[in-house]
Copies of this chain bind each other. A is one copy, B any other.
Amino acid sequence: MPANRRTTLKDLARELGVSTATISNAFNRPDQLSPALRERILGTAKRLGYGGPDAKARSLRTGRSRIIAVILAESLTYSLNDAVASEFLSGVAEVLDNRGHTLLLLSSRQTQAQIPGSASMADGFIVYGLIPSLALLESLPSQSPLVSVDFDIAGRPTVHVDNEAACHAIAAHALRTPAKRPGIINLRLTATPLNGRISSDHRLLPPERTITRSRLSGFHRALGEAGVDTEQVPMWNIEENTFEVCAPVISEILDLPASERPDLLLCMSDRIALTVVTMAEQRGLRIPEDLRITGFDGIAEGQYRAPRLTTVRQNSVEKGRIAARIILGLAPAEPSLLATELLIADSCP
């Protein structure tokens, strides 16, 4: 037994003159052996610096690692700095933590096109958001539980919010006060990347797999019901939900001549809406008199300072909790649809 080797269960067994099975039981099934012996084992374990069964060996033997992987559609950098994704992860982490599991963070946008092999150690996978290609998932063990969030994978359980209904509700609310020039700011809606005005030339992402398409349907339905010709409603697209990417597009909108500038902007995220608020204030536009704004998500930041955002609150933390429960087998592996809540505040009373 070389001194610089980690002590193993076998070393302990030899030291104590008992079998390896007994040591294993001492750690995993206390009821399977006498308290006295167990005490003795745990004692000398501590003395020899044995910290319990090796996780790698145990995972090979049992087939389970107690690790759950979350595969994020966006980059880690983006996701970690996005309030909605962070809340989702909080929800996941909360449940995992409670059940002694840990969280492995992966992104579908890594330098390596494939998901690292080490990921397949996970006992289950939560896929958050529309990933660029389902081919990514092929390297994952096909037997492991997998749940998708905010989009669908055939034959797998899903956690969703009813985006269409929520967007219909908030647009209907907004249109109760007639808008002369409504406009829509979309989040990653076009088939090819675009930051700017969407023209009829642009193709959009396929409707069945994309929450932003559902959100747009909701907006359009409400606009139609209000007698607005949706064809005439200008739309802009934003690729990433960050200040840096939003700002130029929003400048473009707010710097239109007053006769063309929208007086109502339906935004697909609070981040976008908040940036509109900030930039509108910089230009001396009054909210809501000159410009009404709605968001989506209900992030905390939108409710802190005046004008508070009119938005749809989706419970991202709960989405995370549910996804985690499904993966751990604590909830049935079936599609789950969460309710949203309309938050009416200053930006569009």
Contact = CB atoms under 8 A, between A and B. Distances in A.
A117 B80 CA distance: 25
Contacts of A103: 76, 104-105
Nearest to A109: B97
Interface of A: 6, 49, 51-60, 63, 65-67, 76-77, 80-81, 83, 86-87, 89-90, 93-94, 97-98, 100-107, 110-112, 116-121, 138-143, 243, 278, 281-282, 300, 304-306
Given A51-B141, A81-B87, A143-B6, A105 B118 contact: no
B80 A89 contact: yes
B118 A55 contact: yes
B77 A93 contact: yes
B80 A101 contact: no
9 contacts: A52-B139, A54-B120, A55-B119, A59-B59, A76-B103, A80-B90, A80-B93, A81-B83, A97-B107
A74 to B, nearest CB: 12
Nearest to A115: B102
Contacts of A67: 104, 118, 121
B81 A90 contact: yes
B111 A97 contact: yes
Contacts of A138: 51
Contact of A49 (B6, B83, B142): B142
Given A60-B57, A67-B104, A121-B65, A110 B97 contact: yes
A58 B121 CA distance: 10
